[in-house]
Structure formats: structure tokens, C-alpha cells
Structure 1
């Protein structure tokens, strides 16, 4: 059994100032400048079968916060029509950089309002990248390796029923940096995929940037040479931030820190590539979709929403107005959509259309014996998926964030048991 891989990289930098997504402090103002170009990278996979049958899959990673849930169905339909790609085998992923434009129209204005012109441009660039990647497929071998990187840090501490923010080096995080390498029959690198869990939030300023994730990817491409591609897949980093205080004390400029952490990541990834990586054989290229309804706590009444709207306090007032506009259609649950894509023996990815905390990412790795990578920020976005303890303690992830995501309510504590049970079914050994 063989697999063929094609790659493409396209520039998706907005040339006209548009709002950037991810930080309410920017006030939805158009960006002030461009510190680095941002890109969309695509890996197209093709597997010839018996009788002329062909299986295909697509991995896309862009220097963006995510892909908007309202736009994904239309994009999947186009990809199916033009290339026969099934939705179960498509990964539209954002590195979760907070320094790129918004991609969907279903979020609070202060999370960064989407610009229709840019969204159309981005989606055209996606199709351009897929066409280019599909045109240069060739047979590859697959290698896998893993190392360690400590540029991420737990950003929450829970005590006495409360959540506290900050950097907590002794807190839970996932130091594993995993790498997949695709090599041509001539022995050259076609592409690598790197996987790590850390929020790209080094810089808060209102400038376009590919953040440390993009810096690392470009550095790896420079080191690999010969047009090889580096695709960054973000892990379950909902409560993991960049460990900014670990940078040299004299390094106070955020963009110097972006380069610093990007280079540290690239050094760790290079160490994996230069180590004894394991060859893995392709398996039947196939995907499977799962939908997991996650219930919400009792919703506010019409009168309660009107009272919240009347106080005119951001972000709650605009959220309340939006909820009032939904009327009786306001959902009492949100659906977590997951795709499992099997690529090689002992290697699969599990996408999630949510911002998932590290506890679930570590659980996926544990029950799959490391054979499944958790890849949130894919194929849409419903909001944070926290743990039971986080919901009980409150704080940004389970509570304040829900207003920016225009969630109709807050999650029930039972979602942890529901999700872990579903993960046991999907990825458990």
C-alpha cells in the first residue's frame, strides 16, 4: 500500500487593513501594520487502490485563529465538487495565531469582526493551494518521531473553588513535540508535519503576524530546503500559553520574543528529525466523523436577557442582543464535531471544532498509546471545551469566553464524562 503526497504554500496576508481576531483589547480596529506575512499550507494525499479506485485526504494549516463554522460547510461542498474530497478526510486547521484576520461571521465583534472581502480572498486562496498541491503528488515514505519542547506553560491555577490566571510552570502541560516526515523516493524531504500544544499569543499589538508557529514553520522550511513544506498542527492548548517569562530578561520586544520562541521550537523539531525516526507504513486512507452533543446549563429568560442588554456593559450587552434575536431557536446544546483520519500504521489525527483544554489532549494520547494526535481548531469553532473542575471554578475558559463566542449558554459539568466516554470509543486501544 502506498500514499502519494502533494504540497502547496500560498500567501494569505491581507493587503488592506482589516480587524485582527483574538484580542478584545484591540477594540476591533483595523490592523496598524504587517510584521510578517501569513500563509496557508496544504498537504494533499492520494492513495491509488484496486480497480482504479482512489482515496484522497487534505490537511490545511493556516496562520489564523481558526476557520469559521458558518463558512466550513460551503468550503467542504466545493472541495467535494472539485476534487472529490469527503468531509471526513478534510482538515481545515488554524494554528490559533491571534494576529491574523477573522474567518467567520458568527462571533462577537470584539473577537474581531470578519471582513467579507478578505474572507472571499482567503477561500479563493484555499482552492488555489489545493489545486497546486494536487498537481505535484508523488509517492512518499513516512517516518515518525517525537521529542520535547518547553515553551508552553499552564495559564490557570484552581484553588478554593476559584480560577487564577498567570504562568504556572508546575501546572499541567504537554511537552511532547511530534513530527511526521514525508520523503520522496529520491530521499528528499517532501513535507513535515509538526504537532505541539501552545497558544500563539506572544504579541498583543494590532499587527499582522504569523506568531511563533509561523516563524517556526518558515525556519524549518529554510533548514529543509528544496521547497519542502512544514505544516504546523496545533494541539489541545486551551489552557496553555507561551511561556513568555522564560525568554531572556533583556528581551522585552514581543516580536523579538516571537522569533526567540519560534527558533527554540525549530531547534527542538530539528533535533527530532536528526534523531532515529521510525518508518511507518501507510494504512487505508480513511476518515470517520463523529458528533457529540454537549448540553448547556439552563438558559437566561427573555426578561433576563433584556436586563443584561439594558446595562450596556461589554461584551455582555451585545451577546444578550444576539441571543434575543435568536428567540426560540436558541440552542440548549452545542455539538462537538470530530473527524478521525487514519494515515499510517499507529498514526491518526483527531480533529475537533473547538478550543479544547490540555487535559483532553493528554487523555487522547494516553488511551491511544500516542497513536492519535489531538488537533482542535479544525473545521469550525464552537468555543472552549473545559473540564468539570474548570466549569465549577469559573474563569475565562468556561465562563467569560462564552460571550465572545456567542455561545447560547455555559456548559454543564457533565460534558467531561460525555466527552471522555466518546473518546474511549473513538481512539481507545
Structure 2
């Protein structure tokens, strides 16, 4: 490829045209009250020149201001993309920022997490496909550079208090403050776009307003500041146990839209600082993509007696029981963790997971497997939280309590940590160019 990158990009509005319920917080049951920030999908296409010199698309990244991409919605979209553009399925990355201010995209979870709206999902699919067409039309050669920074926006959210694991600020817990910035510059000197990768839940506010949260505030600020037709794209890390450091009297609190903008400005300012410093130019390489599935077993499955008891209860347990009644296989099969590996350059590798992966797995990827990996949570579907073996033993929300909301029988077995790390190693061995 002689060091040449060929990239296309597009940005499409995916704000629900009509008020519908938002996803992510059980205390919200009505349709949204208004729009604080519009939602967008930002689409990137990476191509290689063919023998005839024609740019041939090899990979697509679709990043969206959504809580996640529903596993039940991904399949039809993937089929259309593969059929229409001929891109290999494993090279298509659907990635979400994990904002809790957007619509539900899955029908597999308890209604308390938000009800999916079928009309919105059909419209969303059309917007995405249209955006891919726009991105194809904008393909051009670019120079790609990378820089690193740091931002203290997030903090570990698991802390043992009064003999149990609570959701509380824990500055001693694992976190990943690293900010990775990618700049793509066209041959005429115009910045085509930037990516910035960070690791923290977008749960600044729980208000019933549409919002792209701090990632959206940062993206919009950067697009305004850089000007032109620049598309800024946020990439979310494995942030399952990381939350914004909004703390009062030793406890977390929910903020408002002003806090969203403040945190977005904090992250955007660090991205600008990195862009203003010397950056490393990345040489393109043959695009490599692969995928691996890991079956995650549960410690126990729910008995028919427990399900019957739950059915007469209130709240999430009753809603889960209804899900199991309509689909008994939920209580018989392991969860399927999908890992996607996409190498765009020796120094730029994405590892996506269809789960709320805790930060410890992201740190393992970056520190033990390959320092050039950017872990991407909320990618190509959603199964729920994936904790470490230690967290499973400790309990708490990520360790097992969250399972009820995602329609899962309960906690995973501690053996999943070893299985996942083995899969990480296997994926990283495939494209030799990713090795140091």
C-alpha cells in the first residue's frame, strides 16, 4: 500500500423524530421530555487500492450516540452491508458511546432498561445505510497521526463498604485515564476527522432528556473548534466499572446538562492539547479483521420454582421471569461473548466486545497483549456486564447483581476470565503485522 491510507467518513442525525422512552435508567418510564443534545452516527470506511488503483472498501466503523447496538438488531444490518458493499462481516464494527440519554435498541432486556421502539429502529437502519453510502462517496487519501494524553474524568466505582460491594467512588481501584487521539489529514492539508478513545461511563445525568452525554459534548466542541467539515468521533473503552467523578460527601451524584458540557469540555481540551503537540505518523498496513466467540457459563441456572416465585414479585425479577417464559433457552445456554479484532495499522488495532467489559480487561489488553490496542466496549451487540473472577467472588452490581436487568440467569463462573484472556491472545496472534 506504500503507506497510503484511503478513508471515507460521514455523519448522520439519529435523534428520534418522535418522543420515545430512553434507555439505561429504571427510574425513567415515560417518553423523553425534550432534546438537550442531538444524537449522531459517525461512519468511517477504510479502503485499500486495488490492482486497478480503485479504492476497495475493507472495513467499516459505525460509531453512534446510543447506549449499545442491540444484538437482535445487528444481524439484519450486517446482512445488508455485506450484501451491498461486499465487506467481510468481521470487518464491520458497530460501536456505541454508551450514552444513557438515547433510545433502547434491544428487546432482549427487561423493560425497566427501556422499551425498544420498532419504528425508530427501522428508521435508524435507513439512516445508517444512507450514511455508509455518503462515506463511500467521500473516500480520499489521508495521512494518519496518533498522540496520547490523559484525563482524570473517570473513577473506579466499586468499593467495599459495610461488608458488601457498593457503587461508590474508589480512587484506589483500577482506572484508565489514557486519551488516545488519531488525526486524519487530507492531501490538501484539511483535517478530515479525528478519533479520540477514552474509558468512562457516560452517566453524568439521569434526566429524561435526549443527550449524547459528555462524549457528544466533546465531539461537538471539537468539531466547532477544528472547523470545516471535520468529523470528531469518540471511541468508548472497557468502562464497565468506571464512572464520572461527580462526588459529594464520598458518594456519587447525578449532574445536569451543565455538568455534561463541563465534562465534555474537559475531555475535548485534552484532545486539543494532544493535537497541538507533535504526533506520530502511522504507516498503513493491509487491513486485517477476525472474530472469536467465547461461551460464558453461569454459576447456576434458575429453577422452575424460582422463576414461578419471581413471576409473582415486583420489579426486574418479575420482568426477567417473563423473558424466560417466552424464551426458555435463556435459562439453558451460556452467554456468547463476541470479540472483533480489526487492525488498521501496526500501531492501531481495535478489539471490540459485545458487552459491558470492566476496565481490568482493557488494561490487560493494552499492558499484556499489545500496547497498540484500543479496547472498544459496546460493540456489535450487547449481552451485559462481564466482570473479572475476583469481581464475581466479591459480588456487587458488575459481579452479578446486574444479570437480572439483562435477562441472564445470574453470575458467570470465575473461569470466564481465563477463557477471555486466552481468546485475546488468540486474536492478537492472527495478523502478524500487529506484533512489535
TM-score by length of 2: 0.93
Q: Which ranges of 4 or more aligned residues in structure 1 deviate by more than 2 Å?
A: 49-55, 158-162, 324-332, 424-429
Cross-structure match for 1:346? 347
Contact 2:302 2:331 in 1 (8 A): no
Alignment of 1:14-413 (within 5 A): 14-26=16-28, 28-50=29-51, 54-158=56-160, 162-245=164-247, 254-310=256-312, 312-327=313-328, 330-413=331-414
Coordinate RMSD, CA, aligned: 1.8
Q: What secondary structure sits across from 2:343 in the alignment?
A: strand
Contact 1:9 1:129 in 2 (8 A): yes
Deviation at 1:171, TM superposition (A): 2.0
Distance in structure 2 (CA, Å) of the matches to 1:324 and 1:195: 40
Contact 1:161 1:393 in 2 (8 A): no
Distance in structure 2 (CA, Å) of the matches to 1:37 and 1:173: 29
Distance in structure 1 (CA, Å) of the matches to 2:67 and 2:404: 17
Q: Deviations over 1:286-335 (max 9, x none)?
A: 2111111111122112122111212x221101101221332356333111
Contact 1:193 1:230 in 2 (8 A): yes
Deviation at 1:52, TM superposition (A): 6.5
Structure 1 252/416 Cα, relative in aligned 2: closer, same or farther at 3 Å? closer
Deviates more, 1:264-273 or 1:79-88: 79-88
Distance in structure 2 (CA, Å) of the matches to 1:84 and 1:325: 36
Deviation at 1:253, TM superposition (A): 5.6
Q: What secondary structure sits across from 2:181 in the alignment?
A: strand
Q: Deviations over 1:99-133 (max 9, x none)?
A: 00011211110100001111111111101111111
Contact 1:173 1:358 in 2 (8 A): yes
Contact 2:206 2:254 in 1 (8 A): no
Distance in structure 1 (CA, Å) of the matches to 2:100 and 2:254: 19
Q: What secondary structure sits across from 2:327 in the alignment?
A: helix
Contact 1:198 1:235 in 2 (8 A): yes
Instruction: Report how many residues are paired.
Output: 423
Distance in structure 2 (CA, Å) of the matches to 1:23 and 1:337: 25
Distance in structure 2 (CA, Å) of the matches to 1:155 and 1:291: 28
Deviates more, 1:184-193 or 1:349-358: 184-193
TM-score by length of 1: 0.95
Distance in structure 1 (CA, Å) of the matches to 2:108 and 2:19: 21
Distance in structure 2 (CA, Å) of the matches to 1:361 and 1:386: 12
Q: What secondary structure sits across from 1:91 in the alignment?
A: strand
Deviation at 1:51, TM superposition (A): 5.7
Cross-structure match for 1:416? 417
Contact 1:45 1:56 in 2 (8 A): yes
Deviation at 1:252, TM superposition (A): 9.1
Distance in structure 2 (CA, Å) of the matches to 1:272 and 1:78: 38
Q: Deviations over 1:168-192 (max 9, x none)?
A: 2232100100011111111221111
